[in-house]
Amino acid sequence: MSTLFFYGTLRFAPLLELVLGRPAAEIDLTPAKLVDHAVHAVQDQAFPMILESPGQQADGLLVRGLNAEDIARLEYYEGGFDYDLATRTLTLPDGSRAEAEVFFPEPGLWQPGEPWSLEAWAEAWGELTLIAAEEVMSFYGRVDAQRIARSFPAIRMRAWARIAARSRARGNTRDVARDVIVHRRHHAYVDYFGLDEVELQHRQHDGSMGPVLNRNALTNGQAAVVLPYDPVRDTVLLIEQFRAPVYMIGDPDPWTWEAVAGMIDPGESPETTAFREAVEEAHVELQRLEFAGGAYSSCGSSTEYVHLFVGLGDLTGTVTNGGVDGEGEDIRSHILPFEEFMQWVDGNRIKSLQLLTLAHWLARHRDRLRGQA
């Protein structure tokens, strides 16, 4: 049996239950402190780290009686955060001491931020963390921890997308809880994309419950797509990049013209993503955004939801090296007069559905935008 000290997110009982696979009531938990240490948020992340800090103390939980399976599950989950176990001496409420192992981050891997609060974290990130952890732990025993660690940023983006989906306005009066029966749902594959399988029944238009269906969905986060437009010069900016799926299907021209786009990071708004991606991919500082709608990119096969924008700005230059270093992006941009852009649309040169949608939106609103310039 092993004894561990949890100072961070695993103090959140629903998360600990999910990771260990059993109720908190079955786990031996005792409040404890680790003196001369402090818990800080990790810069630009939604989880904490512990540091040596003379004169301070880190509050947490002493967890006793953990078996080999518990430790394996904890290491599998924490492996995505690059933490290692080290033994430390703790102080208990009655003043006694106890030794326990503590998850410490790899030195230099993370930069500490402000002092960390469990309550503030749970309010801001608790729901997302539970959704992400459910996907992570569903692969325990099936996928190695290194692959989960590589996939973890995408898993969190998918969790953020699930939260966003739950908040969307309903377009009908159907009672999903009554009209959809799920017999089995399974996370079948994990990487940058996920693949979920489900067996379900749904109520048909005649009021009867339909047969059991087996369906798959490519699971992804949500994206922001923005077409930069200069209403003074009446020009648009497109980007061109190699797209592996277009190549993989056998298309002879896998370099595609698109609008600027990017995945929405956890905690980020679609608007923030649109502004950020314009700078990263095209080196363009947009002045403001016009919302052009939101929709699922392919309702029958993918969970991806895209937020569409036309971004107004001064388009005076192009780039041949856009994108983020380390993400394999090789992007160039091209500025086109609006009329020539629409000739590309009518000539079937555009293969991106999002760009086609934005082209038609801009055609409808172009006079208004030019009049406001």
pLDDT value, residue 108: 81
Same domain, 255 and 231: yes
Tens of pLDDT, residue by residue over 180-235, are 999 999 999 999 999 999 999 999 999 999 999 999 999 999 999 999 999 999 99
Domain residues for the domain of 292 are: 222-372
How large a percentage of the chain has pLDDT more than 90? 84
Residue 156 lies in a domain: no
CATH at 328: 3.90.79.10
**Tally of structural domains, the chain:** 3
- Rounded average pLDDT over 27-34: 94
Residue 162 lies in a domain: no
Closest CA to 237 of 366, 359, 365, 360: 359
The single-letter DSSP state of residue 170 is P
- Rounded average pLDDT over 30-42: 95
Residue 166 lies in a domain: no
Same domain, 8 and 145: yes
Which of 26, 114, 119, 327 is catalytic? The answer is 327
Query: In the chain, which ranges are E strands?
Result: 2-6, 28-42, 48-66, 83-91, 97-105, 112-115, 180-190, 194-202, 213-219, 222-230, 235-242, 255-258, 260-263, 288-296, 305-312, 332-337
Residue 168 lies in a domain: no
Tens of pLDDT, residue by residue over 98-137, are 999 998 888 888 899 999 999 999 999 999 999 999 999 9
Same domain, 187 and 241: no
**Model pTM score:** 0.90
Same domain, 230 and 366: yes
Residue 316 lies in a domain: yes
Active site residue 197: no
Same domain, 233 and 330: yes
Same domain, 7 and 122: yes
pLDDT value, residue 80: 62
Residue 257 lies in a domain: yes
Same domain, 33 and 107: yes
Residue 169 lies in a domain: no
pLDDT value, residue 135: 97
CATH at 41: 3.10.490.10
Bridge partners for 176 per DSSP: none
Residue 296 lies in a domain: yes
